[in-house]
């Protein structure tokens, strides 16, 4: 008898550390029939997929991983969700913006391929610079804006939460934090929405320490890059992307911080920006406006303007 509990297909574009780790996390959730991993390198995704499939008896999942090399999109047709990780990672000393021209060409080509093979997919972009590449993917696919989103806030919020938990020596489960804005220099951590065991963060930590952790969060990716010396973070980022894909596949309605199209919320119009959004089968169901302090709202509006200028540039890349 056929098992109908697993349905649908997810494609992960790019079989680097980020892409392959995302594919494995999605496979281990055991909620879809197939995870397809594609890459321009011949043999690499096929080898990774074979290796992952051989872990199924040990880990006890049935989702099948399929590898497709040589830049082909055969086998990806009709994907429900596509995660774009393709592009170059940062090297020490590089900003996310340093990658813009190279990665724009790659993301545009990927997006055009997805549009023709999986016209009903929800796209999750993780290529840097994140906010700009999300805008570019939407332009290149021509998809409705709600079906294209970027992974940023989930990761930045996780980093902020971990930083607070480590500083205070408390379980990460007792800490709630939030970051909005862009994935980069204009990230807007939201201390007014941060709690530890339900108490406001400002009640349990000095203002200068909060500011220090905000700064560390903003530079979280660079900190990892500097330590690794080759490549960039992928364990936490892949966890964030996989969790977003899961919310889409399960039509969960979960509210999470993502890079979404903002049109009127917070008095901000017509830009992809890190905000909280309700995620479901069609991608972003709606942007959720939370209470922000005046300085946090000002920071979010500043981030919107900084990102807007750069997103206008990518249309021509």
**For 152-168, how does the pLDDT look when each residue is reduced to its tens digit (9 = 90+)?**
899 999 999 999 999 99
pLDDT at 98: 79
**Which of 86, 118, 150 lies at the terminal end of a domain, its last residue?**
150
Question: Could you tell me if 26 and 110 lie in one domain?
Answer: yes
Give the pLDDT confidence score for residue 5 in this predicted structure: 82
| Burial environment of residue 172 by CB neighbours within 10 A (0 to 12, 13 to 18, 19 or more) | exposed
pTM of the model: 0.95
**Residue 39, marked binder:** yes
The span from the CA of 291 to the CA of 88, in Å, is 37
The answer to the question of whether 159 is labelled as a binding residue is yes
Annotated ligand binding at 14? The verdict is yes
Spatial separation of the C-alpha atoms in residues 21 and 235, rounded to whole Å = 7
* Domain assignment of residue 45, given as a range: 9-150
Any binding-site annotation on 103? yes
Tell whether 163 is in a known binding site: no
According to the annotation, is 156 in a ligand binding site?
A: no
Are 183 and 160 in contact by the 8 Å Cβ rule? The answer is no
Mean pLDDT of 232-241: 96
Quick one: average pLDDT of 253-275?
Answer: 97
127 marked as binding residue: yes
- What is the rounded average pLDDT of the residues 271-275? 97
pLDDT digits (tens, 9 = 90+) for 99-118: 788 899 999 999 999 999 99
Regarding whether 180 and 256 lie in a shared domain, the answer is yes
Confidence of residue 1 (pLDDT cuts 50, 70, 90): very low
Statement to judge: residues 216 and 177 lie in one domain: yes
Q: Do 172 and 132 lie in a common domain? A: no
Among residues 92, 116, 150, the one where a domain terminates is 150
Question: Which of these is catalytic: 183, 218, 243, 246?
Answer: 183
Q: Is 209 exposed, middle or buried (0-12, 13-18, 19+ CB in 10 A)?
A: middle
Question: Could you read off the pLDDT of 40-70 as tens digits, one per residue?
Answer: 999 999 999 999 999 999 999 999 999 999 9
Residue 291 domain-assigned (yes or no): yes
Strand residue runs (E) in the chain: 9-13, 34-38, 64-68, 81-84, 122-125, 148-150, 175-176, 179-181, 187-189, 195-196, 199-200, 254-262, 271-280, 283-288
Whether residue 123 sits in one domain with residue 13: yes
Higher pLDDT, 173 or 230: 173
DSSP 227-241: HHSSS---HHHHHHH
Query: Would residue 212 show up in a list of annotated catalytic residues for this protein?
Result: no
Say yes or no to pLDDT of 217 above 60.
yes
38 phi-psi bin (left φ>0, alpha ψ -120 to 50, beta other): beta
Are 251 and 310 part of one and the same domain? yes
Cβ(79)–Cβ(12) below 8 Å: no
Say if residue 254 is in the same domain as residue 305: yes
Distance CA 120, CA 185 (A): 33
Is residue 121 part of an annotated ligand binding site? Answer: no
User: Do the strands 187-189 and 179-181 form a parallel or antiparallel pair, or are they unpaired?
Assistant: antiparallel
Alpha carbon distance 23, 18 (integer Å):
9
H-helix or E-strand spanning residue 34: strand 34-38
């Amino acid at each position: 008898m056929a098992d109908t509990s697993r349905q649908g297909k997810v494609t992960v574009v790019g079989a680097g550390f980020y892409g392959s780790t995302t594919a494995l996390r999605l496979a281990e959730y055991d909620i879809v029939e197939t995870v397809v991993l594609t890459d321009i390198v011949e043999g690499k995704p096929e080898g990774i997929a074979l290796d992952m499939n051989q872990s199924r008896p040990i880990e006890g999942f049935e989702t099948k991983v399929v590898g497709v090399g040589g830049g082909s999109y055969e086998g990806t047709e009709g994907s429900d969700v596509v995660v774009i990780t393709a592009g170059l990672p940062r090297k020490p000393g590089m900003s996310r913006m340093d990658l813009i021209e190279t990665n724009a060409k790659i993301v545009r080509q990927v997006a055009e391929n997805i549009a023709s093979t999986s016209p009903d997919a929800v796209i999750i972009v993780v290529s840097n610079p994140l906010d700009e590449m999300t805008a570019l993917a939407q332009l290149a696919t021509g998809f409705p804006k709600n079906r294209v989103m970027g992974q940023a806030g989930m990761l930045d919020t996780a980093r902020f939460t971990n930083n607070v938990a480590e500083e205070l020596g408390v379980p990460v489960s007792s800490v709630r934090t939030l970051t909005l804005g862009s994935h980069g220099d204009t990230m807007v951590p939201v201390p007014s929405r941060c709690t530890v065991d339900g108490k406001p963060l400002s009640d349990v930590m000095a203002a200068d320490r909060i500011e220090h952790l905000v700064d560390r969060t903003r530079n979280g990716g660079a900190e990892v890059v500097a330590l690794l010396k080759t490549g960039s973070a992928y364990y936490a980022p892949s966890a964030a992307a996989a969790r977003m894909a899961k919310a889409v596949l399960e039509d969960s309605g979960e509210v999470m911080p993502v890079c979404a199209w903002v049109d009127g919320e917070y008095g901000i119009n017509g830009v992809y920006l890190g905000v909280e959004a309700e995620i479901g089968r069609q991608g972003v169901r709606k942007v959720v406006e939370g209470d922000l302090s005046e300085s946090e709202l000002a920071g979010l509006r500043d981030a919107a303007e900084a990102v807007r200028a750069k997103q206008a540039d990518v249309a021509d890349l």
